[in-house]
């Protein structure tokens, strides 16, 4: 078995038992990254930094130290700031930007930080491609390069955590971090045939995660198995009261603890609204088969309704741009990032800097967001959207009275062709319909590989849990993966 066939759990065991060193492992994955450079997974690599971290991990292993991911190489979405690598958020605005500190999630997974504990000991392979400021569904909004789906390189990998999904699916990294504001972990995981989870809002610290829409942004892992996701998520989550006031004051949790529990009697809610017009027949067939598998595993299917599913699109595309317009006001050419080289007065400097630094989609969101927050429109749009957001969250609570977990498709279709949506942003927005509701409600959601649809492209089953139901979700996914092998399939040439 070669190193890239191993799960994080298997790799960690081999490292701990000194069957392979962290240095060899890091070198191996760096070489694979270079070999598959054309997939566009990475925005930054720095072999010296990675190898130095690997050597440090080897020293800790030799000293008999233990940490949950000691020496395991992972890569980070380039929306997390890192001290040792550039942090661009996929934007020209932050080209070559270097952060003076590591994001809390990066510190927790890696070598720790004051107030963050000792760290899980993972080694960083580099920074991964993403849509600019995490705005997008295809990775085509990256200011640097598209990322390609390893299952069919003429197709998008999904977004905004596209590079993360590509890196894992193409075995360039055993696991990666991502962020999910409206589906950006679940949708690329689904499109690339891997597993990903977004925890309950507030579980993971947002400190050092370059902000898109602060009331929605959450970090989470992408990996091959639910077990690996559980391992990474356990390291990533935890209160960070000094640095993120919205991080939940809850003790760290071991999300692997209930892996293996029986699904006998588990009530799986199947929302009627997730199976209407627009759902591709190949996706539907894969989801139906997955639900049948769950029945075999002892679960009971209950029909439920999430009546405001369609409204989640206008609601999200008001709230997210509103928050984005406010968050992105910090990029003014003064504090950090790009500054126009030729300008007249201060106002002209702001204008030129922002015109040059931001891409089209980001500008579109800033304009929409500024509009819906402006005097006279605030009540008509922003406030209304906030009210409906609350109703969407209430609909879930109503649904969870009759079920324990909700299941349905992650997306209405498989990954589309690069360029297929052309200059039609609405086509992208509409494809977010099934991931947005859980985001707006702040609920945990995951994507589990469950088959293949149109063009023999991967399909992901979405599992949505109630608040703090991550362990239950991960176990439901784990049991499914013990009974199926979709998560082990790999694209040709990988």
Choose between 125 and 410: whose C-beta lies nearer to ligand GLN: 410
CB of 123 to ligand GLN, least distance (A): 26
CB of 432 to ligand GLN, least distance (A): 5
Q: Residues 455, 191: contact at Cβ < 8 Å? A: no
Length of the chain measured in residues? 494
Give the tokens for residue 207: 């400190």
Closest to 269 (Cα-Cα) out of 394, 393, 407: 407
CB of 477 to ligand GLN, least distance (A): 20
Q: What is the DSSP string of 175-231?
A: EEEEEESSSTTHHHHHHHT-EEEE-STTSB--TTB--S-TTT-EEEEEESSHHHHHH
Number of DSSP helices (H) and strands (E) in the chain, helices first: 15, 11
Q: Which of 160, 164, 325, 439 is catalytic?
A: 160
- To the query of whether residue 335 is one of the catalytic residues in this protein, the response is no
Parallel, antiparallel, or unpaired for β 195-198 and 175-180? unpaired
Strand locations in 363-444, DSSP E? 405-409
- To the query of whether residue 160 is one of the catalytic residues in this protein, the response is yes
Q: Which of 21, 77, 127, 138 is catalytic?
A: 77
Choose between 22 and 415: whose C-beta lies nearer to ligand GLN: 415
CB of 214 to ligand GLN, least distance (A): 12
Give the tokens for residue 116: 């963050």
C-alpha to C-alpha distance for 68 and 494, rounded to whole angstroms = 28
C-alpha to C-alpha distance for 78 and 86, rounded to whole angstroms = 8
Residues that bind ligand GLN (CB under 6 A): 134-137, 160, 180-184, 212, 320, 432
CB of 91 to ligand GLN, least distance (A): 13
Strand locations in 214-263, DSSP E? 218-223
C-alpha to C-alpha distance for 26 and 7, rounded to whole angstroms = 15
CB of 191 to ligand GLN, least distance (A): 12
Closest to 470 (Cα-Cα) out of 207, 259, 306: 259
Choose between 33 and 158: whose C-beta lies nearer to ligand GLN: 158
DSSP state of 159: S
Choose between 182 and 451: whose C-beta lies nearer to ligand GLN: 182
C-alpha to C-alpha distance for 483 and 297, rounded to whole angstroms = 8
Q: Which of 184, 234, 312, 439 is catalytic?
A: 184
C-alpha to C-alpha distance for 288 and 469, rounded to whole angstroms = 23
CB of 377 to ligand GLN, least distance (A): 20
C-alpha to C-alpha distance for 367 and 364, rounded to whole angstroms = 5
- To the query of whether residue 387 is one of the catalytic residues in this protein, the response is no
Choose between 33 and 162: whose C-beta lies nearer to ligand GLN: 162
Choose between 43 and 61: whose C-beta lies nearer to ligand GLN: 43
Choose between 184 and 205: whose C-beta lies nearer to ligand GLN: 184
C-alpha to C-alpha distance for 324 and 287, rounded to whole angstroms = 34
Residue nearest ligand GLN by beta-carbon distance: 184
Catalytic annotation, residues: 77, 160, 184
């Amino acid at each position: 078995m070669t190193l890239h066939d191993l799960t994080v759990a298997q790799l960690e065991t081999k490292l701990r038992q000194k069957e392979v060193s962290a240095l060899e492992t890091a070198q191996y994955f760096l070489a694979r990254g270079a070999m598959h450079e054309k997939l566009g997974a990475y925005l930054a690599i720095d072999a010296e930094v990675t190898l130095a971290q690997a050597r440090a991990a080897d020293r800790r292993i030799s000293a008999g130290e233990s940490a949950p991911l000691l020496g395991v190489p992972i890569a980070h979405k380039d929306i997390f700031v890192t001290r040792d690598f550039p942090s661009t958020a996929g934007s020209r605005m932050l080209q070559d930007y270097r952060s003076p500190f590591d994001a809390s999630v990066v510190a927790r997974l890696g070598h720790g930080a004051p107030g963050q504990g000792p760290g899980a000991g993972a080694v960083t392979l580099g920074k991964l491609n993403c849509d600019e400021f995490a705005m997008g569904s295809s990775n085509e909004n990256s200011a640097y390069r598209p990322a390609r789906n390893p299952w069919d390189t003429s197709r998008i990998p999904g977004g905004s955590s596209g590079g993360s999904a590509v890196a894992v699916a193409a075995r360039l990294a055993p696991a990666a971090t991502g962020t999910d504001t409206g589906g950006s972990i679940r949708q690329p995981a689904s499109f690339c045939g891997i597993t990903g989870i977004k925890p309950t809002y507030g579980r993971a610290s947002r400190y050092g995660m370059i902000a898109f829409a602060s009331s929605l942004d959450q970090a989470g892992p992408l990996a091959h198995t639910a077990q690996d996701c559980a391992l990474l998520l356990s390291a990533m989550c935890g209160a960070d009261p000094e640095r993120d006031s919205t991080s939940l004051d809850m003790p760290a949790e071991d999300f692997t603890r209930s892996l293996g529990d029986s699904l006998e009697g588990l009530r799986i809610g199947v929302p009627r609204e997730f199976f209407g017009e627009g759902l591709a027949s190949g996706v539907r067939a894969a989801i139906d088969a997955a639900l049948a598998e769950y029945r075999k595993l002892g679960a009971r299917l209950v029909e439920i309704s999430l009546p405001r599913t369609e409204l989640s699109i206008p609601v999200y595309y008001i709230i997210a741009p509103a928050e984005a317009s406010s968050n992105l006001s910090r990029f003014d050419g003064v504090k950090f990032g790009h500054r126009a080289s030729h300008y007249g007065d201060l106002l002209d400097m702001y204008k030129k800097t922002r015109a040059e630094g931001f891409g089209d989609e980001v500008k579109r969101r800033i304009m929409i967001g500024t509009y819906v927050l402006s005097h006279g429109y605030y009540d008509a749009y922003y406030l209304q959207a906030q009210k409906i957001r609350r109703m969407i969250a209430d609909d879930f609570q109503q649904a969870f009275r009759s079920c324990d977990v909700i299941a349905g498709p992650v997306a209405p279709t498989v990954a589309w062709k690069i360029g297929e949506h052309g200059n039609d942003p609405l086509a992208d927005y509409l494809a977010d319909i099934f991931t947005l509701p859980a985001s707006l409600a702040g609920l945990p959601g995951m994507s589990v590989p469950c088959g293949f649809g149109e063009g023999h492209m991967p399909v992901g089953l979405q599992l949505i849990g109630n608040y703090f139901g991550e362990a239950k979700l991960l176990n439901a996914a784990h049991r499914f993966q013990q009974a199926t092998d979709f998560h082990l399939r790999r694209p040709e040439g990988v």
